[in-house]
Amino acid sequence: MRWALVKVCLAVTAMVVVAFAVPLGLVIKEMARDRAFSNAERQAAAVAPALSITTERDQLEKVVASAGSDAGVAVHIPSADGRAAVDIGRRHAAGKDIATVRKLGRASTTEVPGGFTLLSPVAVSSGAIAVVEVFVPESEVSNGVGTAWAVLAGVGVALIVGSVAVADRLGVRMVQPAQRLVEGAHELGEGKLGARVPEEGPTELRLAAVAFNSMADQVVQLLANERELAADLSHRLRTPLTVLRLNAASLGEGPAADQTRAAVAQLEREVDTIIRTAREAKPQTAAAGPGAGCDAAEVVRERMAFWSALAEDEGRKWRVAGADRPVRIPVARADLAAALDALLGNVFRHTAEGTAFAVDLHNGEDAVIVLVSDAGPGILDPEAAMARGRGSGSDGSTGLGLDIVRRLAESTGGDVRIGSSVLGGTEVRIWIQLDGRARTPGGRGHRSVRRRRRAVAR
């Protein structure tokens, strides 16, 4: 498009320059010719009065000299009344041309070597017809024409170059938004859902950019909705399965009980496989925009209300701390609920009945910490457990719960740590960064959280 526009402007400007420059050049040439012959006529007119008064050679030579003999003025007087013919000055015209002018009695212009001659008839006192000849050199006829043509050519070239430059700038203004639109479409097709196109350029391309950005926003929103649905499905399916597994474990011994437990285990494995596959296939979406997130305290209270019923059935003591007032975090509600369900489900799955557990929520200046702890046997190798959380899977554990938690924390710039809890078992710490920056150990966020933890401990 850019080069096509340049070629069109080049062709149009060249035609305009030719259409105006060629006629103008010819007019300038004709004007120079007319100027030269006008000067010659004035010189011939200066000699004519003297010829009508006298034909004396001496006097006529003075008149010719004063009229500009250097320019080639000559006078030709025929013989009459016994007087010989008189020729004053250098003759350039042919004798027949002079005789023709004398016979016809009107001025004439003839071409001679080196230029032109103006032949003007004048009646003398003797009644004969004299001819005044003025020589006009070729250089005088074309005087200034070359310079004028050079100026016209320069102006024409400047116009063409200027039009090409303007066309190129206009082409760039049109092509660059189109290129950005193409690049944005390619990026969106490659899964970069944060790709957007600047809304600039001509009106049509601006409208196309607006439509593209609107489409990309819709795609991101649809994928976000799918993510919410997948996260909701994860804790909706895995939580009842955990309850079903615990109930199946209390059926005692027997073929029916063994078959029920085997079926529950198989179903749980299939559900874990489906959810893991969905999470791995999920494309990376753009970062959450301003205002996105949830109230962590509300989510903690809601999930603990659900798990408390099962805890009472198994005789487990539980407590919640720090969830008595709102705590905003930049995490979707469904994601935080899925992470809590994953960790609490692990507590019920890997600890004996009657084992106590707790959930603590600490709100710092630039970070929020969620602690899920229990009084179980603990985890002998936290690093191996986190490795399972990254998808390696071993020892009968899929690591899906820790993977959900790790993704949630890392999406905010935080992390997940496994350690020993004050209850004597395992403590999983979820560090959620509030401003999205990389966590700085020992920073203000750590000090503020430690101060909050000391306050809660008191």
Contact 164, 9 (CB under 8 A): yes
Pick the CATH number of 289-457 from 3.30.565.10, 2.40.50.100, 3.40.640.10, 1.10.132.20: 3.30.565.10
- pLDDT, residue 275, reads 64
DSSP per-residue letters across 259-273: HHHHHHHHHHHHHHH
User: What SS3 class is residue 430?
Assistant: strand
pLDDT beyond 70 at 85: no
- pLDDT, residue 124, reads 77
- pLDDT, residue 357, reads 94
Phi and psi dihedrals of 323, rounded to 5?
Answer: -105, 25
CATH architecture of 200-286: Orthogonal Bundle (1.10)
Residues in the chain: 458
Domain ranges for the chain: 2-145, 200-286, 289-457
The one-letter code for the residue type at 76 is H
**pLDDT tens string 180-232:** 888 888 888 887 878 888 888 778 888 888 998 899 888 888 877 776 666 56
**pLDDT tens string 349-374:** 888 889 999 999 999 888 999 999 99
DSSP per-residue letters across 100-148: HHHHHTS-EEEEETTEEEEEEEEE-TTS-EEEEEEEEEHHHHTTTHHHH
List the one residue out of 222, 224, 218 whose CA is nearest residue 196.
218
- pLDDT, residue 430, reads 94
**pLDDT tens string 274-330:** 666 655 554 443 344 434 578 999 999 999 988 888 888 889 999 999 999 999 998
- pLDDT, residue 319, reads 93
* Neighbouring-strand partners of residue 73: 134
CATH number of 2-145: 3.30.450
